[in-house]
Structure 1
Amino acid sequence: MTDREWKVLHQDEHLIVLDKPSGLLSVPGRGADKYDSLAVQVADDFPGARNVHRLDRDTSGVIVMACDAAAHRELSRQFEQRETDKRYIAIAAGVVIEEAGKIELPLRKDFDHPPRHMVDVQLGKLALSHWQVEARYADSTRLSLIPQTGRSHQLRVHLQAIGHPILGDPLYAPAETQAAANRLMLHAIELEITHPASGERIRFVAPAPF
């Protein structure tokens, strides 16, 4: 990953909205080899910027960072209280027959296979995802996805659980499906938040690169 592959979608004195590339961590991980990340790079270019939420390393798309403490508190609250609206695009293995639906399967960490997560109807936390077909191909389907909850790897695990893992997914897809794409085919295309200073409802869009 070369430096500065992200794009600035919006910037003001309170927040900065970016289009994160696939393959870049949102925040530093454990170990020196996982220090390079969107948060580090953006803070270098925009001192004071700090992360509010995360996208998986291999997921691309819209992500917002706060530029001051007050904005960070308010944006963090919006994510925690599920007051943000998010939409993703994915290309999943197999042809999905129905036009739309929801997946309501509780999730938890898979302690035997970190960093994976798994469905657990007894110990898992509530997780709800809505999906809608955008296009069907010979052996895959383009989906619009709206997560109502924000569990780690939620969309990836939910689609795997219904038999349609995401193409290129190194954690949840079988080898053939992993090899069907050169990246995880999951992109955060839209994010809607309430501006922490003005109170205006604003929506940001990063067109899908696939």
Structure 2
Amino acid sequence: TAEDKKHEQLIPEAIPVEILYMDRSLVVVNKPAGMVVYPAAGHSRGTLMNALLCRCKKLEAPGGPLRPGVVHRLDKDTSGVMVVALDSGAYYKLAEQFKQRTINRRYVALIYGNPKDNSGQISLAIGRSETDRKKMSTRVRRGKEALTIWKTIERFHGAALIEAKLKTGRTHQIRVHFASIGHPVLGDRAYGKKIEIETREREKLTFPRQMLHAEALGFIHPVTGKYLEFHSPPPDDMAERIKQLQG
């Protein structure tokens, strides 16, 4: 119906979004926390795609009317570097790199507690939770293989700052993997629920969202064949809490 068609249309909106790089084939953005990538039930406006349509004028890549060019995504409350294709050539070549796992994706996160080791890998399969369909879980009969490689950057009282590299890109992968080993991402309301901790000075430190940030993204440019890597430091809310933990 005409009404359905209206809902299937992307509306340009003048929402500020930091563009790290843009050419005819693709755009690299620094997505803020709290922003959904594309319209879906309950979020028809205010998404990254609405903002990009306003900035790029034309989004002609495949992916569907509401998410043209989306080759990967970040959760609503995860901030950081993301690439979106602007034409079909770039879309298929970038999608292939994600499929072949040659994309370089590096995240930083504040996690609850202190891991025993300074580095490691988590290779638990991930699937949709059998008790809550909105969540993912490692306790599933048929999960998809998932691999996260991590190292500790800094240890604090009751928390640690870690770097994680994704070798696979399962939904909520880092959040689910760290929760499954008893070190959930701080502020993650879905997995682990560690929303506040006590600092060494016995002060309560509250985390408004999951403290997870995509700090680097590297890929081969689909047209030039050159390797590009983009970086973004943790946003203020996360940087501030790292400072407070450092005391």
Same fold, TM exceeding 0.5? yes
Q: Which one of the candidate residues 35, 39, 52 is aligned to 1:24?
A: 35
Cα distance between partner residues in 1 of 2:47 and 2:106? 23
Moved more, 47-56 or 37-46: 47-56
Cα distance in 2 for residues equivalent to 1:57 and 1:189 = 16
SS of the residue corresponding to residue 62 of structure 1 reads strand
Describe how 1:1-210 pairs up with structure 2 within 5 A.
4-31=15-42, 33-49=43-59, 50-120=69-139, 122-174=141-193, 176-177=195-196, 180-209=206-235, 210=239
Aligned counterparts of 1:188 and 1:68: Cα–Cα separation in 2: 24
* Code of the aligned partner of 2:75: D
Contact 1:27–1:39 at 8 Å: present in 2 too?
yes
Whole-angstrom CA distance in 1 between matches of 2:117 and 2:155: 11
More strand by share: 1
Alpha-carbon spacing, 1:101–1:58, altered in 2? closer, same or farther (3 Å): same
Given the two structures, how large is their TM-score scaled by the length of structure 1?
A: 0.92
Instruction: Report the 3-state secondary structure (helix = DSSP H, G, I; strand = E; otherwise coil) of the residue aligned with 2:161.
Output: strand
Q: Residue 121 and residue 110 in structure 1: after superposition, are their counterparts in 2 closer, same or farther (change >3 A)?
A: closer
1:7–1:20 contact (8 Å) kept in structure 2: yes
Q: Which amino acid aligns with 1:87?
A: R
- Show the counterpart of 2:62: none
Query: Residues 3 and 103 (structure 1 numbering): CA distance in 2 closer, same or farther, change over 3 Å?
Result: farther
Q: Which runs of 5+ in 2 are unaligned?
A: 1-12, 60-68, 198-204, 240-247
* Structure 1 stretches lacking a partner, 5+ long: none
2:57 counterpart SS class: coil
- Tell me, in whole angstroms, the C-alpha distance in 2 between the residues paired with 1:99 and 1:175: 21
Segment of structure 1 superposing worse, 38-47 or 172-181: 172-181
Q: Does the 8 Å CA contact 2:186/2:194 hold for their aligned counterparts? A: no
Give 3-state SS (helix, strand or coil) of 1:155's partner: helix
RMSD: 1.9
Is the contact between residue 178 and residue 185 of structure 2 (CA under 8 Å) also seen in structure 1? yes
3-state SS in 1 of match to 2:82: strand
Aligned AA (1:40): N
| Equivalent residue letter for 1:75 | L
Letter in 2 for 1:93: Y
CA contact (8 A) 2:35 2:48 kept: yes
Q: Distance in 2 between matches of 1:164 and 1:177?
A: 13
**Alpha carbons 2:118, 2:152 under 8 Å: kept:** yes
TM-score normalized by structure 2? 0.79
CA distance in 2, matches of 1:130, 1:63: 20
Against the structure 1 CA distance between its residues 159 and 3, is the aligned structure 2 distance closer, same or farther, given a 3 Å change threshold? farther
In the alignment, which residue of structure 1 is the partner of 2:200? none
